[in-house]
Amino acid sequence: MNKVEAMKSVKDGLEVLRDIPEYAAAGWESIPEGERDRLKWAGVFFRRQTPGRFMMRVRMSNGFSNADQFRVLADISDDYGKCFGDLTTRQQMQLREFGIDEVPDIWERLHRVGLVSLQTGMDNIRTVVGCPVAGLTPNELVDASPVAREFTGMFVGNREYTNLPRKFNVAITGCLDNCIHTSNQDVALTPAIKEISGSELTGFNVAVGGKMGSGGYTANTSLDIFVSPEEAAEICGHIALAFRDHGSREARNKVRLAFLIADWGAERFRAEIESRAGRPLLRAGKDAGKPGQTDHIGAFPQSTPGFNYVGLCVPVGRITSDQMRQVAALADAYGDGAIRITTGQNLIIPNVPDACLPALEAEPILETFSHHPTEAMRGTVSCTGIDYCHYSLIETKERAVETAQALEQMGVQTGKISLFWSGCANGCANHALADIGLVGKRVRVDGQILEAVDVYRRSKSVVAGKPPAPVMTNVPCGELPSVLGQMLSEENGEIC
Ligand code: HEM
Ligand code: SF4
């Protein structure tokens, strides 16, 4: 039994909710070292870089938030943290640097505005991602956000789902413009049309067993199942529980759902899901997704005539508490208070009437959070990096912004491009799925240790059946803008 399984066998992860008031009263040093990981069931993360100052991951299904929530997150960051938060690639917010004694009050404030941090780490179903303009964009087959919410409601706080063999990532989307990465998710529901006796049903095709870590990127496998929106959450539940009951619990790097799918094959897994559902399920429908990808940055008309959503680029997802309040004020003044978070660590203000659009576009905050960012900044995503993550070998967020700015200043024609930075090979920023993926490392040059990266190029790095391979290794971060500038200039025209 691996270490984590041994820890889980003592008591369920959610039992930590009973321990937290005690830890809060007695101070962080009272938390036994072996119990630190259990805090992640509560969404509270011990950070080795800042002992005693914790991180909290706040769940926002489908990236849906609102002005009241942003104001509360801003107040918490001011009162207990360092006056900022991080938007993540799973469409949620991470709060930083608070004490364990402050957790009860933070939770109370979060609960008042409908937010929870439960089960956002370790062997749980992480925040369900989806199209951030679900229900707004004319380019969707179905509004999948109710399914994301329904499924989330099934597993949050439910101990049936709190002892999976490993983390479990779910994406549910009806967007035809491929605005989220679905191939690397343990479960992906993507828009599909099923023809039955001459009539067309709209719903989702189901794929399972994608992953990024644990040996690298594996694209998920079609289960050859079509589900209607009404049965979609139920089927996601059966898949998670099949993983719970049949997934390996041996070596931690070989237990993601991908390994069970590789072992069983899609057919046997489908039979298991049908047996849990107690009925045969329809075979996959016609994939409805269009070619290409989008990030929803910019101003776009919604399906309701006269209304628009405005996608704002938040460089590397870092947002100060003042900026959170400014965004909340924008959402209240020009929209209906709704705020959405994208998987590119950016924000969307929905429901802006045509008449209000020019005034919104003239707001000073849009100089920082632009809706017309440069291509390099628009495509830049970064993991936390060395400031808060002890795995990191480099500083990521500042370097990512500086590199994007340097490419702009050098006049490099990047074209539409994604630049994803991971501080280490764990690859939390999905480097293998980027046009250019950067993975931090340290190199010795002339006796000096320098921060450096390996460079991945999606078009050349990802070969089916093989782990992604870098196209350049050991590039010192200081040289990166010129190295990337040269690479892109040489390739000019090749990027799409
Ligand atoms: C064993 C491998 C991994 C380890 C040890 C690991 C560890 C971590 C840690 C410590 C953080 C939080 C850092 C902070 O902000 O303070 C983090 C964040 C994150 N990681 Fe990983 N990670 C691993 C693999 C992955 C993989 C393969 C993915 C998928 C691409 C991933 C996705 C994320 C995301 C999206 C976040 C931001 C928070 C969130 O939205 O959930 N991680 N990871
Ligand atoms: S990629 Fe590495 S450095 Fe970045 S958050 Fe993940 S574990 Fe930390």
Which domains are assigned to the chain? 3-112 (3.90.480.20), 145-287 (3.30.413.10), 298-365 (3.30.70.3340), 378-490 (3.30.413.10)
User: What's the pLDDT at 308?
Assistant: 98
429 Cα nearest atom in ligand 2: 1
Cα–Cα distance between 99 and 81 in angstroms, integer? 8
pLDDT at residue 496, rounded to an integer: 35
Residues of the chain with pLDDT under 50: 494-496
Residue of the CA atom closest to atom 25 of ligand 1: 428
Ligand nearest to the CA of 397: 2
- What is the rounded CA–CA span in Å between residue 33 and residue 205? 43
**pLDDT given at position 413:** 87
What CA–CA distance (Å, rounded) separates 71 from 249?
A: 41
Q: What angle, 0 to 180 degrees and rounded to 10, lies between the N-to-C axes of helices 229-246 and 145-155?
A: 40
Stretch (H or E) spanning 353: strand 347-353
> Which ligand has the shortest distance to the CA of 121?
1
489: which residues sit within 8 A by CB, 6+ positions away?
A: 412, 413
d(CA 299, CA 454): 35
Which residues face 380 on adjacent strands?
419
Gap between the Cα atoms of 332 and 350, Å rounded: 10
| Residue 476 bridge partners (DSSP) | 452
Ligand 1 atom 23: residue of nearest CA: 426
Tally the C-alpha atoms within 13 A of residue 483's C-alpha that lie toward its C-beta: 17
Helix or strand or coil: residue 312? strand
Chain centroid to CA 440: how far? 20
Give the nearest ligand 1 atom to 430 CA. 30
Contact between residue 314 and residue 320 where contact means Cβ atoms under 8 Å apart: no
Minimal CA–CA distance to 91: which of 125, 130, 122?
130
Strands in 67-198 per DSSP E = 84-87, 93-98, 170-172, 187-196
Cβ 28 under 6 angstroms from ligand 2: no
Amino acid at 104: P
Query: CB of 113 within 8 A of CB of 69?
Result: yes
Nearest to 215 by CA among 466, 471, 479: 466
Residue pair 281/235 in contact by the 8 Å Cβ criterion: yes
Report DSSP state, residue 197. Answer: T
Residues with CB under 6 A from ligand 1: 47, 55, 57, 88-90, 92, 94, 126, 212-213, 384, 388-389, 391, 426-428, 430
* Contact yes or no for 210/218 (Cβ under 8 A): yes
Mutation test residue for ligand 1: of 387, 428, 430, 433, the one with most atoms within 8 Å of CB:
428
Q: Which ligand is nearest to the CA of 186?
A: 1
Token pair of 154 as six digits: 């099934």
What is the distance of C-alpha 266 from the center of its chain? 26
Q: How far apart are alpha carbons 106 and 120 in whole angstroms?
A: 16
SS3 89: coil
Q: Is the torsion defined by CA of 27, 29, 31, 37 positive or negative?
A: positive
DSSP string across 402-440? HHHHHHHHTT----S--EEEESSTT-TT-GGGSSEEEEE
Question: CA-CA distance, 115 to 70, in Å (whole number)?
Answer: 11
Whole-angstrom Cα distance, residue 481 to residue 453?
Answer: 12
Burial class (CB in 10 A: 0-12, 13-18, 19+), 139: middle
Q: Cβ–Cβ contacts within 10 Å for residue 22, how many?
A: 11
At residue 427's C-alpha, the angle toward residues 425 and 432, to 5°, is 105
